[in-house]
Amino acid sequence: MDPVELLQKTLSVFSDVAQGDNSTMATATNATNSPSSTNATPGLSGLLTMLLSFSALTDWLKLFVIGGAVESCRRLLFSLWRSFTQSFWITATFDCDDLSFNWIMFWLSKHPKWGKARTLEVSTRSFGLSSAAVTVDGEGDCDSNRKLSYLPSVSESYSLWHKHRYMTVIREKSQDGFYRTVETLQIKILARDHRVLTDLLLEAKMAYQAAQEHLISVYVSDACNSWRMVATRPKRPLKSIVLDPGLKDLLLEDARDFLASKSWYSERGIPFRRGYLLYGAPGSGKTSIIQSIAGELGLDVYVISLSRMGLDDTGLSELISELPEKCIALMEDIDAAFHRGITRDMDENPNKPKKPQDEREKEKDEDKSSRITLSGLLNALDGVGAQEGRILFATTNRYNALDPALCRPGRMDLHIEFKLASKYQAEELFKCFYMPSDTPIPESSEKVVEKPEQDVDSAYASGSSSPATSEVRDLIDLDCPSSPPSTVATFSSSSHTLTGQTHRLRGPKLSASHVSALAASFAAAIPDREVSMASLQGYLMMYKTRPVEAAHEAPAWVDRQREERLQKTNPTPGDTSTS
């Protein structure tokens, strides 16, 4: 039909309808006694009849159908095109809560692209790798392994080439349901083969692990009972911990052997878990040896705090079942979880003044907040949900207070006592402190004592300026055992030859044999099993750069310690200063 004709018809219909309506209204107004509304019906019904018989309607319908089909085709083609183009890309998204996010961000931070980018983010983040102070390139002391890094900016799209592959990078930040800022990173790689992404991830992970080589990661549980990495700690060298002969090897070899025996355990149907209970005097090295073993075995440490507010048996089970297969789970002061209220101090010293009221109230509140029961702990440790492959270390100062069920083999397989310092430990600790860094510390002190004790005194009197021998290839180096000697300004004082200006270079030059002699003299002054290794360390710290004095003053220090202990156990009436 001709459009003009169509328009004319439509207009005439509308005018008919309008006329019909007007006549209806006039009839209703003029003839009130016999209101007749039937006059309106012919108008509407006429319109409907006309519309239905109207051939244009079919044309309209055709128009809708054809239009709909065209739009559907357009959309289909568009999505096909998108799928086609996407088939050339691999799109990977990394969530900030996932460990892979750290790998890829660390890898990105090392990419040269950001050194030239015009828009970028400057960041001091270490991605869980280091807590060292941040240094900027060109800064004086750039030894630090933690540098200011350049990263892609948020909400910008970047393109870069890596190993002849084109990729784009987009970082996004948003808020989750808890108003927490969540960050995601999207990497699109122009490649069809998935191996490209796997290779990239592997590369990022290896780079991350290489940077992590000297660190252990420490995880704690959050309020949602998920593990969260909170810190990285430098690996503590095993040789820096002095225990009775054989103890370190026993622990380390046992743990190493366990990790290598998965099939042995499964063949015999024994749960693949190992527990160590380290108990004994405070400050005797329990925590330190665990940190060191974690470093030696390359395992991360998962700290299970049984007294954490809100943690109940279910939460504990969840946490333990979510431990990774190879890790160290650490429960410190395991006795405290069930015997709070009896503090160590009260145990050791019944005469100790009572704690203030508010502190006791706080402790009571903590008691209420911890909902772990012994049976809950026992089930979590070796119930059906307990993780396989984990090594559990538990420490306590009150061995006898522990429930036998907790200590039984299967839960705690090895019980190792850590005692107060022996003479042997005192001597070795002294050597650890003062032995020139590249001199191996001999295992047995007896073999290396070359100088008689009077030599020590005379050395002290003469200012310890023993001539440097070929054994002394480095200065006494406390902080950085493996760092090379720096240029040194040497000068003599009345008592010592002091060298350099920095802390680590201020020690007197002593030969290994001289240090051994001083160590023997020191050990002779330290009574067996009377002071803790932590107090010995504290004492030696006061003489960081004065080994001769440290050895010489030791007897007086021991006397003072004894006096203090005596005072603590028998305080003079009215004296509240001891704490």
Ligand X SMILES: Nc1ncnc2c1ncn2[C@@H]1O[C@H](COP(=O)(O)OP(=O)(O)OP(=O)(O)O)[C@@H](O)[C@H]1O
Q: Tokens representing 237?
A: 């060298």
For residues 89 and 84, what is the distance between their CA atoms, to the nearest angstrom? 10
Give the closest residue to 110 by CA, choosing from 218, 243, 208. Answer: 208
Q: Which stretch binds ligand X (CB under 6 A): 120-128, 216-224, 238-246, 494-502?
A: 238-246
CB of 305 or CB of 537, closer to ligand X: 537
Are the beta carbons of 333 and 396 closer than 8 angstroms?
A: yes
Is position 515 an interface residue for ligand X (rule: CB under 6 A)?
Answer: no
To ligand X, the closest distance from the beta carbon of 356 in angstroms equals 23
Q: Tokens representing 493?
A: 């004082």
Out of 215, 301, 406, 533, the only residue in the binding site for ligand X (CB under 6 A) is 533
Out of 20, 128, 285, 547, the only residue in the binding site for ligand X (CB under 6 A) is 285
Is position 534 an interface residue for ligand X (rule: CB under 6 A)?
Answer: yes
CB of 282 or CB of 389, closer to ligand X: 282
Are the beta carbons of 102 and 95 closer than 8 angstroms?
A: no
Q: Which stretch binds ligand X (CB under 6 A): 132-140, 166-174, 516-524, 530-538?
A: 530-538
Q: Which stretch binds ligand X (CB under 6 A): 251-259, 278-286, 379-387, 468-476?
A: 278-286
To ligand X, the closest distance from the beta carbon of 409 in angstroms equals 23
Out of 283, 376, 507, 508, the only residue in the binding site for ligand X (CB under 6 A) is 283
Out of 211, 241, 255, 277, the only residue in the binding site for ligand X (CB under 6 A) is 241
To ligand X, the closest distance from the beta carbon of 425 in angstroms equals 6
CB of 130 or CB of 397, closer to ligand X: 397
Q: How many chain residues are in contact with ligand X, going by CB under 6 A?
A: 17
Give the closest residue to 550 by CA, choosing from 540, 559, 560. Answer: 540
CB of 149 or CB of 288, closer to ligand X: 288
For residues 85 and 90, what is the distance between their CA atoms, to the nearest angstrom? 11
- With CB atoms as reference, the residue minimizing the distance to ligand X is 285
Q: Tokens representing 135?
A: 């240094």
For residues 477 and 480, what is the distance between their CA atoms, to the nearest angstrom? 6
Are the beta carbons of 407 and 334 closer than 8 angstroms?
A: no
Are the beta carbons of 163 and 152 closer than 8 angstroms?
A: no
Give the closest residue to 104 by CA, choosing from 6, 180, 203. Answer: 203
CB of 171 or CB of 286, closer to ligand X: 286
Are the beta carbons of 254 and 393 closer than 8 angstroms?
A: no
CB of 282 or CB of 485, closer to ligand X: 282
Is position 547 an interface residue for ligand X (rule: CB under 6 A)?
Answer: no
To ligand X, the closest distance from the beta carbon of 184 in angstroms equals 39
CB of 278 or CB of 459, closer to ligand X: 278
H helix intervals, 323-434: 344-348, 357-369, 374-382, 404-407, 423-434
Pairing state of beta strands 227-234 and 165-175? unpaired
Out of 217, 288, 499, 513, the only residue in the binding site for ligand X (CB under 6 A) is 288
CB of 272 or CB of 399, closer to ligand X: 399
CB of 126 or CB of 397, closer to ligand X: 397
To ligand X, the closest distance from the beta carbon of 287 in angstroms equals 3
To ligand X, the closest distance from the beta carbon of 557 in angstroms equals 16
Give the closest residue to 105 by CA, choosing from 175, 182, 186, 160. Answer: 186
How many Å is the Cα radius of gyration of the chain?
Answer: 39
Is position 416 an interface residue for ligand X (rule: CB under 6 A)?
Answer: no
Is position 445 an interface residue for ligand X (rule: CB under 6 A)?
Answer: no
Are the beta carbons of 274 and 257 closer than 8 angstroms?
A: no
Q: Which stretch binds ligand X (CB under 6 A): 282-290, 364-372, 379-387, 409-417?
A: 282-290
**DSSP E strand stretches across 402-481:** 414-418
Is position 242 an interface residue for ligand X (rule: CB under 6 A)?
Answer: yes
Are the beta carbons of 253 and 391 closer than 8 angstroms?
A: no
Out of 24, 284, 292, 513, the only residue in the binding site for ligand X (CB under 6 A) is 284
To ligand X, the closest distance from the beta carbon of 212 in angstroms equals 22
For residues 14 and 175, what is the distance between their CA atoms, to the nearest angstrom? 56
Q: Tokens representing 94?
A: 């990394």
To ligand X, the closest distance from the beta carbon of 280 in angstroms equals 7
CB of 197 or CB of 534, closer to ligand X: 534
For 460, the enclosing helix (H) or strand (E) is helix 453-461
Is position 292 an interface residue for ligand X (rule: CB under 6 A)?
Answer: no
Are the beta carbons of 183 and 155 closer than 8 angstroms?
A: no
Q: Look at residue 494 and give its three-state secondary structure.
A: coil
The binding site for ligand X (CB under 6 A) comprises 241-243, 282-288, 395, 397, 418, 429, 533-534, 537
